[in-house]
Amino acid sequence: MNIKTYIIDAFTQEAFKGNPAGVCLLETELTPTVMQSIATEMNHSETAFLLPSTEMEGEFKIRFFTPTTEIAFCGHATLASAKLVLEKLNYNNATFVTGHNLRLEVSQEHDGRILMHFPMYAPVAKEPIPEVYAALGITEEDCVGTFYADPLAMLIVQVKSQKTLLGLKPDYQSLIHDAPFLKGLAVTSPSEDEAYDFSSRCFWPWVGINEDPVTGSAHSALAPFWAFILGKTELRAYQASTRGGSMDLSLMPAKNQVEVRSHAQIVLEGVLFL
């Protein structure tokens, strides 16, 4: 079996920035074991597997795998998959149906950005968790608050400054040990760059990703979080990893969705032989 396979950098206009995702365009179903083996071989934070629907034009089944496990929803692999479908397959819009029946609509905008509709998850306040702060290398005095976003199983820690955010040196084994109820952790602060409303860094060692370069799914919760703080529904976000990446966010409360706009770059196209 030959599988068309791509590496696509998401949330960037520049190759080798943003977050790379593997994307495999399938002709037939693969078993979860085979998809997991491919994702482990690709060794990106996520690899997406796309299977065109036989019933509806422009609809694709999509599944997401980290190097160690399948996950329900991945933003940057959705953007990478959208780049492939819109540019290489010449669709103007498409719908991805996840393994958990989440429908993700994507379309091409005139300025070259891709528009995606993500679910919106409102985080709720939690009591301080000193063990998590210690594993991040900060103290409770560095924090504004701690919040939880379900169903992402993601903790949000708001810190007072971007300097604190950039200085984080997480102990990943301690995070896994001290907070086994989590799948992800987003640390966020106001941005010192006037071009952005807020910055973040995201850590997912529970699913095999220490620091994720740019995490689209986290912004399903970070968008309403910062919209409430700043009193605005249009936001620009920057994820301050080594590679870095950005996105524009628009809240749609009536639909319980977040519109996410950004770019992606195809950097490799090839064939996977099975």
User: Which residue numbers are catalytic?
Assistant: 46
pLDDT at res. 221: 98
Mean pLDDT of 213-218: 98
What's the CATH architecture for 2-119+261-273?
Roll (3.10)
Q: Over the stretch 128-176, which tens digit does the pLDDT of each residue have?
A: 999 999 999 999 999 999 999 999 999 999 999 999 999 999 999 999 9
- pTM score: 0.97
The domain made up of 124-245 is a member of CATH 3.10.310.10: yes
Domain ranges, ordered by start, for the chain: 2-119+261-273, 124-245
pLDDT at res. 204: 98
Q: Over the stretch 92-107, which tens digit does the pLDDT of each residue have?
A: 999 999 998 999 999 9
Q: What is the mean pLDDT of the chain?
A: 97
pLDDT at res. 272: 98
pLDDT at res. 182: 98
Say whether 124-245 and 2-119+261-273 share the same fold: yes
One-character DSSP codes across the chain: -EEEEEEEEES-SSTT-SEEEEEEE-SS---HHHHHHHHHHH-SS-EEEEEE-SSSTTEEEEEEE-SS-EES--HHHHHHHHHIIIIIS--SEEEEEETT--EEEEEE-TTS-EEEEEE----EEE---HHHHHHHT--GGGEEEEEEETTTTEEEEEES-HHHHHT----HHHHHHH-TT-SEEEEEEE-SSTT-SEEEEEEEGGGTEEEES--TTTHHHHHHHHHHHHT-SEEEEEE-SSS-EEEEEEEEGGGTEEEEEE-EEEEEEEEEE-
Q: Over the stretch 73-86, which tens digit does the pLDDT of each residue have?
A: 999 999 999 999 99
